[in-house]
Structure 1
Amino acid sequence: MPDQPVLVAIDIGTTKVCVLIGELTARGGVDVIGIGQAPSDGLRKGVVIDIDRTVQSVANAVEAAERLSGLKVRSAFVGISGSHIGSQNSRGMIAVSGHRHDVSRDDTLRAIEAARAVTIPNTREILHVIPRGYVVDGQEGVRDPIGMSAVRLEVETHIVTASSTSVQNLSKCVQRAGVEIDELVLAPLATAESVLTEEDRELGVVLADIGGDTTDVAIFQDGSISHCATIPMGGRSVTADLGIVLRVTPDVAESVKFKYGSAVPLEVDPDEVLQVTSIGEDTAHGVTRRHIAEIVESRANEIFGFVAKEIEAAGATNRLQAGLVLTGGGSGLTGATRAARDQLGMSARVVAPTGLGGLVDRVSTPPYAAASGLLLWGARNWPTEDERAGGRALEGVGDRLGKIFKGLMP
């Protein structure tokens, strides 16, 4: 058994389930000691459509990670995303308690709880209440008010909600695979842990994690998240377009996409011809690589067009100095950054996850950004020795205020 606490991350995507096991180091870092991956076909657009298949995929990935690490997985931080995710900004205000009127941790938690008191349908539940900044007796822009003298304390928060049935079904899949849930974490929030710097967040940045069926978008301004959304299309949307136009199987279309596809047709040789055998045909026919690129470009432009709409919805147009950060499996598409720059009018770059130690050579690629971020999220929210001595354990899915405060202070 390792001497340090062990964390587990489970990223359940539409094409694969990824499990990472990490050991907390004495300096507060995380060393990857176990990696598991399994094909996934039980989700569509981030929502469970087949519980049994999803359970099996999770179990297979967990087993692979257990074999490599030699440890038994009992609980994990689990990512969640999908078009059912919603978010809004909310403010909470309280009177500061205590005869000296010094802001305490309890005061900040009460303010966050006040901000949490928003009206949402009974079919939805709150995943995160993220403090973005505080106002102390009218003074705005306060990052950490603890210890300050004040009569009134306000907090501006970003609240993330999810469909209750989607949460229940995803949780059920993980638990039936024999794993308890430490916390359900919004996937782009976790991904940000592994691919964004503090400078990115301060300057303003939009993160786009291009998965199989979806693209998760998160916008950060002034150091914290201000908007998040899920676009219901991703890398497999490009694959499907190629399959339909070329009349080939999904496997062939996927191969064509990554070997010959480009989101920028003008950068492709217009005279290069590929031989493609369509379904039901015995002989191959010629398709220009330029035509393939035009198919890819059309869908890529649509995806980045939706990203632009989310930037506008967040009121962040022309305010994101750090530009666009692309990650996820779909970010490997040739020409993706050029297409994004052309569509959004801002800088764009592909970023792989960083911040982990151990078996990093196996996970330092964009497809592992969410899983890597979940480990880093878990490390930031893990109880300190003093907190463990005081009896604090990781809360369940419905009780996160203490963890939110510790891990998400702007």
Structure 2
Amino acid sequence: MDTERYIVAVEIGSSKITGAIGTRSLKGVVTVLGVDTEPLTGSVKRGFVVNPDEVSSKVKRLIRKLNNRIGASKKIKQVYVGIGGQSLHAEDHMISRDYPEGTPITEDIIKRLQEEAREMPIAGADILEVVRTGVLVDDKPKSGREEIEGSNLKMSLKLIVARDDLKKSVFRCFSGEPSVVRYIPTTLSTAYVALSNEDRQAGVMLVDFGAETTTVSIYKDGLLRYLSTIPLGGYNITCDIMTLKVTEPEAESFKVRLGSAKVMGEESNITLRGESSSEIKSLDLSKVVKARIEEIVANVNAHFEYAKCDRKSLGAGMVIVGGASKLSNLAELIAEKCDIRVRKGALRQDMLLDVASQSKSADYLQILGLLYCGKENCVEVLPKVVDEPEDEPHEEVKPLSPKEKRAQEKAQEKAEQERRKREAADAKREEKERKKREKEEKVKGPGLFGKLKEMVKKAENLLDDENDNF
């Protein structure tokens, strides 16, 4: 019997749909079973689905791929879906409540008020998530989950909102099965796996360079302080390269293979050849790539002022993630233009991945973030189907006599007793083998199995201590 829950997550981006499936232990440790993708072209614009039929077809194909990873005896029945786009941003909101003197202000009361805020109407927008940024009880800060008595509660929140038809456009891609458990703002789930508690406490700007948008979020003192989206991304660079009279696939290839955000040394003007024999000059490529990426970086830099944030107060600097963050020398350009320490995002060390996925974890931070934020089981076990032989006549079943019934019951009881004896013998044998292994490990040291157990235990303890919105 499975002791773990299966979590399934899907992220619909502008250039591809990504899906992942994994198991979540009772202690919250996630093991990734697989990540799959389906390409998209023109069906999603800055997070909004403009061609739901094509996206729905790709989603179904992706779900089949993920289902094949867990076998025919199980079926994906629901998924977590990442959501984002140009309209995604954060708005400040304050809740104030009065209670009788000496009322215990519990975590349940606070969570209930958060859920009420999620249902608050905002003209032309949907509230996708409610993030707590501060709690005062009788004007005294409340930290952690301890219960405090008081008569007045004030709670400051960040409402993560987007245009009201954004979620509807994504919902149209999930008709029938699987259903959607929850829509999660991808920028929040990515921060969960890319930023450590120490990063969020010291202060950090997370910049997610996507295909058509770039999302900026700032954390300080462990809490989300700012979130906004820039309507520019890596695809804008591809389009600029296409003006050099090359096709879109060739332009994307030139960008990925030869594009650079910054000139490193003296640059020569050589002829570059594409996969379809097209030719462009290296200086022309350099000019269009640098012009666009410098524009995007300038927009990122402006958000320090919009957020009223002193970059020197961000002790952890800036972390960059997303497909477009792979552009050569981008970190160096940002460090120079924004006057801040920059590093590329990677999976937090306390997150446990299977060995096969570990090497590519930096490429899949967004989908892994959604996977880690999932809590509910997304897979059902199908009942076993007994195939009956075809084209054979069915014999008429005659009712059993009382004597035959008693004989049948005795036979079943005997079979059950034999089964229990076998199970007891198997358990005794396994216990004996386990003691033998433990004895050998004491002599030889922990070995690979022991080290893995220690690593899992460490991850479980760190995840138990974590306090965030997910």
Please indicate the TM-score interval, normalised by the length of the shorter structure: 0.7 to 0.9
Taking the aligned partners of 2:333 and 2:12, their CA distance within structure 1 comes to: 28
Q: Is the 8 Å Cα contact of residues 263 and 294 (structure 1) preserved in structure 2? A: no
Match status 1:22 vs 2:25: no
- Which of 366, 370, 379 is the matching residue for 1:370? 366
Q: Is the 8 Å Cα contact of residues 16 and 39 (structure 1) preserved in structure 2? A: yes
CA deviations 1:88-132 (Å, max 9, x no partner) are: 1111111246x74221233213543575586620x3221111111
Shift of 1:321: 2.2
Taking the aligned partners of 2:2 and 2:236, their CA distance within structure 1 comes to: 43
Farther off after superposition, 63-72 or 234-243: 63-72
- Which of 82, 85, 90 is the matching residue for 1:82? 85
Cα distance change on mapping 1:409 and 1:209 into 2, 3 Å: closer
Output the aligned Cα RMSD: 2.6
User: Which residue is 2:107 aligned to?
Assistant: 105
Query: What is the identity, as a one-letter code, of the residue corresponding to 2:318?
Result: L
Taking the aligned partners of 2:149 and 2:246, their CA distance within structure 1 comes to: 68
Shift of 1:409: 5.0
Taking the aligned partners of 2:234 and 2:166, their CA distance within structure 1 comes to: 22
CA deviations 1:252-273 (Å, max 9, x no partner) are: 11111121111002x0541251
User: Which residue is 2:51 aligned to?
Assistant: 50
Query: What is the identity, as a one-letter code, of the residue corresponding to 2:364?
Result: Y
User: Which residue is 1:7 aligned to?
Assistant: 7
Cα distance change on mapping 1:154 and 1:353 into 2, 3 Å: same
SS at match of 2:302: helix
Instruction: Give structure 1 stretches of 5+ with no counterpart.
Output: 383-405
User: Which residue is 1:233 aligned to?
Assistant: 232
Taking the aligned partners of 1:277 and 1:260, their CA distance within structure 2 comes to: 11
Larger Rg computed on CA atoms: 2
Taking the aligned partners of 1:22 and 1:370, their CA distance within structure 2 comes to: 14
How many residues align structurally? 377
Match status 1:322 vs 2:322: no
Farther off after superposition, 61-70 or 352-361: 352-361
Taking the aligned partners of 2:163 and 2:272, their CA distance within structure 1 comes to: 46
Query: What is the identity, as a one-letter code, of the residue corresponding to 1:241?
Result: D
User: Which residue is 2:305 aligned to?
Assistant: 312
SS at match of 2:105: coil
With structure 1 as the length reference, what TM-score do the two structures score? 0.84
Query: What is the identity, as a one-letter code, of the residue corresponding to 2:260?
Result: S
Cα distance change on mapping 1:276 and 1:144 into 2, 3 Å: same
Cα distance change on mapping 1:350 and 1:4 into 2, 3 Å: same
Match status 1:350 vs 2:344: yes
Farther off after superposition, 291-300 or 81-90: 291-300
Taking the aligned partners of 1:20 and 1:284, their CA distance within structure 2 comes to: 37
Q: Is the 8 Å Cα contact of residues 78 and 181 (structure 1) preserved in structure 2? A: yes
Shift of 1:156: 1.0
Match status 1:297 vs 2:300: no
Shift of 1:196: 0.7
Percent identity (aligned): 26
Taking the aligned partners of 1:83 and 1:120, their CA distance within structure 2 comes to: 18
Shift of 1:168: 1.0
What aligned pairs does 1:179-190 form with structure 2 within 5 A after superposition?
179-190=178-189
Taking the aligned partners of 1:304 and 1:143, their CA distance within structure 2 comes to: 36
Taking the aligned partners of 2:166 and 2:126, their CA distance within structure 1 comes to: 10
Taking the aligned partners of 1:356 and 1:15, their CA distance within structure 2 comes to: 28
Cα distance change on mapping 1:195 and 1:409 into 2, 3 Å: closer
With structure 2 as the length reference, what TM-score do the two structures score? 0.74
Taking the aligned partners of 2:218 and 2:29, their CA distance within structure 1 comes to: 26
Instruction: Give structure 2 stretches of 5+ with no counterpart.
Output: 378-465
Taking the aligned partners of 2:280 and 2:13, their CA distance within structure 1 comes to: 34
